[in-house]
Structure 1
Amino acid sequence: MRAFRVEDLPIESQMLTKALDEAQRKVENYFFDIRKQLFEYDEVLNSQRDRIYTERRRALESDNLQSLIIEYAELTMDDILEANIGPDAPRESWDHEKLIAKLQQYCYLLNDLTPELLQSKCTSYQDLQEYLRYRGREAYMQKTEIVEKQAPGLMKEAEKFLVLSNIDRLWKEHLQAIKFVQQAVGLRGYAQRDPLIEYKLEGYKLFLDMMAQIRRNVIYSIYQFQPVMVQNQQQSANSQQKESKERGSDNNANPVRAAQASS
């Protein structure tokens, strides 16, 4: 090469150029597929994040969550009805006692429900669904009236706290679960199944379960909310402090009693 003074000449070979271009194209396609796959996985979580943030913003910015709580109550009644009877079950096989026991477990204000009452008012699954939705709304309004009589404005604060706290806690748990699913679905490729489709299906199911758990926790906590217990504790603490102060003043006024108490 030095003899012919061609040190600075580039190496030109059509075969070499073609091989380098092909190698570069394969590398670029490989990393493009990786980025595309990550983007598609992120899109699944982003859509869920938008939905849960919308729900959280709705609770955070609203001054009255009555419509949201009523929606939670109706959907929870639907869940309980579907889990204990089901829309396809014949009317003769309906287990009213099991259904009533589950409803009363959620809300003590439904203690007047009896199998005879449900049989007389509901002749079809749709009638039973509408009646239970009505009772769920009625129980919520009754609970709100009870709480507002004892502490005006407390129910609104409790509703906002319960909704936000359950959303935050269950969303964190959902993120951990969805991360585990993303790692696990990769193995399903060996079973000739698309990991992305499996991830979307599993992620959607987990998201629906999380949303159902949020509304069930919220409506159960509202039905069971008892502010009287907190007030009684505060009153007992105040009375104990008052009694201790009175004892101290009596001892100071009577030196004999103070000496006996100290001995």
Structure 2
Amino acid sequence: MPALSTRVGMAQSLSQSLALLQACGVLHKGITPANIVFFAKTGTGNSKDRDHGLSHPFIMGFSWARLHGPEYISDKTENANTNFTSSSGQLHMHPAYTGKTDQRYLKIFDVYSLGLVLLQIGLWRSIADIADELFPSAKSTINNTGHKLDEASEVGESDGWLKKKISEWQSQLVEQHQLVAQTDGIAAQKNPRRAFQKALVNNIERLLLPEAGKIYTRVVARCLTGDVGNDEMPRNIIDQTSDENEPEYILQDSIVKGVVQELERCNV
């Protein structure tokens, strides 16, 4: 895991990039870790000697991007039109943008996706891993139990009876793992994206506060709830269906003050 100062620098740079995109009237529509790249700055071919510039990420992946405004149209993004089948690659999109309605893409949807990226940066964990913690599947439960048995086996090496018993339990777990399909957990929720959003908002302080501090946690909560202008820790999700008739500066000012400038206050 990179140092917290490096991760905060990464978050600061990404938030500034999104603010600039929105100031130019650009909707990205695909802000995910897969669309964030880094370039080696110094060093040789040896990766150990290379400075990857983690504090200076670049946003790419503008395949679905368009200008903001009612006169501009674009296709629905692939993930919005795909049936939810797993926690991998399906959760970065805002719950209101499902592809099943005529809901147009909003600026706040990119802010939500940024919030998910900032959450992953703060925890240095994948979105699938976070989803599996909040909505554990049968497979993950079996895997976790298996890891605990492995640890117990190492401790109990001197006790032959215990080691034999643990080996029997592990064999049973392997059989169960082969029989259990990934049909529960987050995938079993009626609306996985909405359930995930609510679970994150309800657990954001427990998840992020010990790792990244109060300011960073508050910024992520603002992005995830859509309550970007809240001076305190947002706790309620703000639903919005249109922003194309609102003055551009309203959300822009909130993002600059509530996200960009707040992250700049983070002292590590």
TM over 0.5, shorter chain: no
TM-score interval (norm. to shorter):
under 0.3
TM-score (norm. length: structure 1): 0.27
TM-score (norm 2): 0.27
More helix by share: 1
